[in-house]
Structure 1
Amino acid sequence: MIKTYLIERRSWILLFICQQLLILFVAYMDPTIPLQSILYMVFLSMIVFTVFLMIRYHTETRFYKSLEERDNNLDLTSIASPESPFEKIIDTSMTNQIELLKRTASRNQIALEEEKDDLLSWIHEVKTPLTAMHLMIDRLDDDMMKTHLTYEWLRIHLLLDQQLHQRRIPFIENDLYIEHTDLETIIFNEIRTLQSWCIQKGIGFDIQLEAAEVLSDAKWLAFILRQLLTNAVKYSPASDIIVRSYQRADQTLVEVQDSGRGIDPKDLPRIFDKGFTSTAMHQDHAATGMGLYLAHKAAQSLLIHIQVQSVVGEGTTFTLTFPQKNEFVRITGV
């Protein structure tokens, strides 16, 4: 800050030095002026000016030091009270700007909440005709038409489900209910939803549940497994998808293993990024890049660690590692 202050006041310092040099020059050129006395006066002036600079440095930089050290937020309470007229102009300008930002942020937040509520309402409204459509499809006699319509219905259903959970994830902590959850019930419910799609692609499931229960939120765990199973079905040929659970030490693990196209090694660090699809299959316009992102976000709130292993052309394995019971104290507060 000292260097900054000297640079800021360099014009005044140069003016003072030039004045002293001018006095010395005049005394040197005019024999009637005693040079020794002038030198003494210049020396005293330099001392006084130096002391003045030191005092003014502490006075004038107090406000700017507080600006430099403050956090980058909208709180101005940490800023020192302005003293000079220029400091008051800066303080007033910052206060007005922050008040404007706060009002704008408040309006944007209200608009965002209204948009979110409208979208949630729309999703719930769409679910009613979608359910009716599914019942109508079930009554079709043409098996080929029934299969194709069921697949398209399932795509719409899964996309709406993603949108619904995407809007709920920022408030997931308010929606959690941690309990002993039966894995078989959740997994078979999700497989049943994907049944028509699996039949169409010739995909089966090999379920190996050594661990029958996990401690988690049933609704959000179902959503996570839904994204993993959907990805497995989407990118797998006719084969079996293996879903297994087992204990390792004090933790429960659940694996979803497919025999699909696999994930390119350079893509693995990015598969949980929002909107990321693939570099190898970038022309796949059906992919949204949201499923794994949302699954990962939900898993973080449930303290579930997701690992992925993949070999291109051989398949992918997602592993969910569930936390120990005492780790949920941070979530439940119990």
Structure 2
Amino acid sequence: MIRIKSIFLKLFITYIVILILSHFVLAIVSYFLLQNNLTNMHLNSEDFHQMKYLFVLASIISITITGLFTYYLSKRITAPLREMNRVALHIARGQFNQRVEIQTRDELGELGETFNYMTQELAGLDQMRKDLVANVSHDLRSPLTSIHGFVTAFLDDTIPNERKRHYFTIMKEQTERMSKLVNDLLDMAQIESGQVEIEPVIFNLSELIRQVVARMEPEFANKKLNVELISEEAKDIYVFADPDRIDQVIVNLIQNAVQFSTNDSSVEVILKKEEQAVVSIRDYGPGIKQEDIQSIWERFYKADRARTKKVGTGLGLSIVKHILALHQTDIQVESEVGRGTTFTFTLPIAQNKSNRHEKK
């Protein structure tokens, strides 16, 4: 059994078969009609054969002309499919700059537009992958080079004993930096693959913030920062959310504030109770340009135009955005160059805090 793989040939042969069948049916019907009405039409046998000959000749000419037109029409209809096949082969080789030329507005045209959109998204993913590799390589290479240099110096006994503790501290900071990068990458991978699910319960948000600020005290001391927890509420605020993920959000936002604050400046953590619980983290660092604010949620934003001189993984704010999206809430940014930046997000107030232990 012969299998035709080309859709063009399938379409062309289908048209030809339909054309021949239509002429065959027409010939049979005409034959019987003429045969039964020869006397009424005053036609003799010779005239009848002459008509059959003319009819066959006309059918051959009709099939030939219609076949040529069908060939052109089939080729034109299937041209977008052949073009998409050509572009798909280039994309398979990693050439994502290819596009399908769309000349129609029918279903094939819509398919071509969808194909171009898919190509554009694949090109974006490929560029994101390249950027990810480049940024991760850079962020891992810098601390590894530093640690390698210090270890070599220790082995060569070129570092005085009184300076060894100082360099050990630097090495510890570099290993913590690499550890945070790896953890952030794992978190981002889980979030984007949909593997992260929140488990909301009722918990004391005020106490959570106090605990976060307390355990981050060494980071504040290193930069001599004055960290203030500001809340005008007489009672603690209870919310309904995932405490572990909200802890991660607050830690990332405070670390971001610390990272971009100058020594001896202040960081404020503000907690208010309105229709929802409102948490704000304010720093008095360099601020962000208005045209750059939308970019801060991108992965490895630190490698872009703004804040390039700072260290960090560049993933913290992206993780914050994703976690709050899972909580069906958003985060707002207010920033002024030279005056600092404030991040604000909200969480739903718990209606019945007495059930918090049962929900846990």
TM-score range, shorter chain: 0.5 to 0.7
The alignment status of 1:193 with 2:215, answered yes or no, reads yes
Normalization by structure 1: what TM-score? 0.52
Aligned partner of 1:139 in structure 2 is none
CA drift at 1:288 = 2.5
- Structure 1 residues 238-273: Cα deviation after superposition (integer angstroms, max 9, x where no partner): 233221222343x32211111111112222111010
Q: Hey, what's the Cα distance between the residues in 2 that align with 1:306 and 1:275?
A: 19
Give the 5 Å matches for 1:111-190.
153=172, 156-157=175-176, 160-161=179-180, 163-171=182-190, 175-190=197-212
Q: Hey, what's the Cα distance between the residues in 2 that align with 1:289 and 1:48?
A: 69
CA drift at 1:320 = 0.9
- In structure 1, list runs of 5 or more residues that go unmatched: 14-35, 73-143, 327-334
Corresponding residue to 2:269 among 215, 218, 243: 243
- Structure 1 residues 30-64: Cα deviation after superposition (integer angstroms, max 9, x where no partner): xxxxxx99987654224335776899999999999
| 2:268 and 2:282 in contact (8 A); partners too | yes
- Structure 1 residues 50-107: Cα deviation after superposition (integer angstroms, max 9, x where no partner): 77689999999999999999xx9xxxxxxxxxxxxxxxxxxxxxxxxxxxxxxxxxxx
Aligned AA (2:273): Q
What RMSD, in angstroms, separates the aligned Cα atoms of the two structures? 4.7
- Structure 1 residues 268-323: Cα deviation after superposition (integer angstroms, max 9, x where no partner): 11101011114143243x23211111222222222231111100110100011225
Aligned AA (1:287): G
Change (3 A) 1:151 1:293: farther
Give the 5 Å matches for 1:288-303.
288-303=313-328
User: 1 or 2 for the larger relative contact order (CA 8 Å, sep ≥6)?
Assistant: 2
Aligned partner of 2:20 in structure 1 is none
Q: Hey, what's the Cα distance between the residues in 2 that align with 1:151 and 1:186?
A: 30
Paired positions, count: 222
- In structure 2, list runs of 5 or more residues that go unmatched: 1-6, 17-50, 89-162, 352-360
Aligned partner of 1:47 in structure 2 is 62
- Structure 1 residues 90-132: Cα deviation after superposition (integer angstroms, max 9, x where no partner): xxxxxxxxxxxxxxxxxxxxxxxxxxxxxxxxxxxxxxxxxxx
The alignment status of 1:279 with 2:305, answered yes or no, reads yes
Aligned partner of 1:135 in structure 2 is none
Change (3 A) 1:49 1:296: same
CA drift at 1:235 = 1.1
